[in-house]
Amino acid sequence: MAVSKDQVLAALAKVPSPNGVALPDARVLSDVVVSDGKVFFSLTVDAGAVKAWEPVRKAAEDAVRAISGVQSALVALTAERSGASGGRPQQQVGQSAPRAAHPADKVQPGIPGVDAVIAVASGKGGVGKSTTAVNLALGLRDLGLKVGMLDADIYGPSLPKLLAIREKPQTIGGTRLKPIERYGLTVMSIGFLIDEETPMIWRGPMVMSAITQMLREVEWGKLDVMVVDMPPGTGDAQLTMAQQVPLKGAVIVSTPQDLALIDARRGVAMFKRVNVPVLGVVENMSYFLCPSCGTRSDIFGHGGAQKEAERLGVPFLGEVPLHMTIREKSDAGLPVVATEPDSPHTKIYREIAVKVRDQIKGSARAAPKIVVEA
Tell me which residues touch Mg ion (CB under 5 A): 129-130, 158
Q: Residue 249 binds what, of Mg ion, ligand ATP, none (CB under 5 to 8 Å, by partner type)? A: none
Which amino acid is located at 370 in the chain? I
Which amino acid is located at 131 in the chain? T
Q: Residue 330 binds what, of ligand ATP, Mg ion, none (CB under 5 to 8 Å, by partner type)? A: ligand ATP
CA 10 to mean position of chain CA atoms? 29
Shortest reach from residue 83's CB to ligand ATP, in Å: 35
Q: Residue 322 binds what, of Mg ion, ligand ATP, none (CB under 5 to 8 Å, by partner type)? A: ligand ATP
The rounded distance, in Å, linking the Cα atoms of 139 and 353 is 5
In DSSP terms, 118 is beta-bridged to 227, 249
Shortest reach from residue 133's CB to ligand ATP, in Å: 7
Q: Residue 320 binds what, of ligand ATP, Mg ion, none (CB under 5 to 8 Å, by partner type)? A: ligand ATP
At 286, is the secondary structure helix, strand, or coil? Answer: strand
Q: Is 260 in the site for ligand ATP (CB under 6 A)?
A: no
Report yes or no: 225 and 115 within 8 Å, Cβ to Cβ.
yes
Whichever of 136 and 215 has its CB closer to ligand ATP, that residue is 136
Beta carbons within 8 Å of 98's beta carbon, 6+ residues apart: 212
The rounded distance, in Å, linking the Cα atoms of 286 and 322 is 6
Beta carbons within 8 Å of 61's beta carbon, 6+ residues apart: 73, 74, 75
Question: Taking Cα atoms as reference points, which of 33, 10, 35, 4 lies closest to residue 23?
Answer: 10
The rounded distance, in Å, linking the Cα atoms of 26 and 49 is 13
Q: Is 320 in the site for ligand ATP (CB under 6 A)?
A: yes
Q: Please identify which residue in 16, 69, 125, 301 interacts with ligand ATP, judged by CB under 6 A.
A: 125
Shortest reach from residue 148's CB to ligand ATP, in Å: 18
Piece in contact with ligand ATP (CB under 6 A), picked from 10-18, 45-53, 297-305, 323-331: 323-331
Piece in contact with ligand ATP (CB under 6 A), picked from 26-34, 88-96, 320-328, 361-369: 320-328
DSSP assigned state of 183? T
Q: Is 330 in the site for ligand ATP (CB under 6 A)?
A: yes
Q: Is 130 in the site for ligand ATP (CB under 6 A)?
A: yes
Say how many C-beta atoms besides its own lie within 10 A of residue 357's C-beta: 21
Question: Taking Cα atoms as reference points, which of 227, 205, 363 lies closest to residue 282?
Answer: 227
Whichever of 26 and 241 has its CB closer to ligand ATP, that residue is 241
Shortest reach from residue 126's CB to Mg ion, in Å: 8
Piece in contact with ligand ATP (CB under 6 A), picked from 36-44, 100-108, 126-134, 144-152: 126-134
User: Number of C-alpha atoms within 13 angstroms, CB side, residue 40?
Assistant: 11
Q: Is 347 in the site for ligand ATP (CB under 6 A)?
A: no
Whichever of 77 and 211 has its CB closer to Mg ion, that residue is 211
The rounded distance, in Å, linking the Cα atoms of 161 and 22 is 42
- Binding-residue pattern over the window 223 to 242 for ligand ATP, x denoting contact by CB under 6 A: ---------x----------
Residues that bind ligand ATP (CB under 6 A): 122, 125-131, 153, 156, 158, 232, 284-285, 320, 322-323, 326-327, 330-331
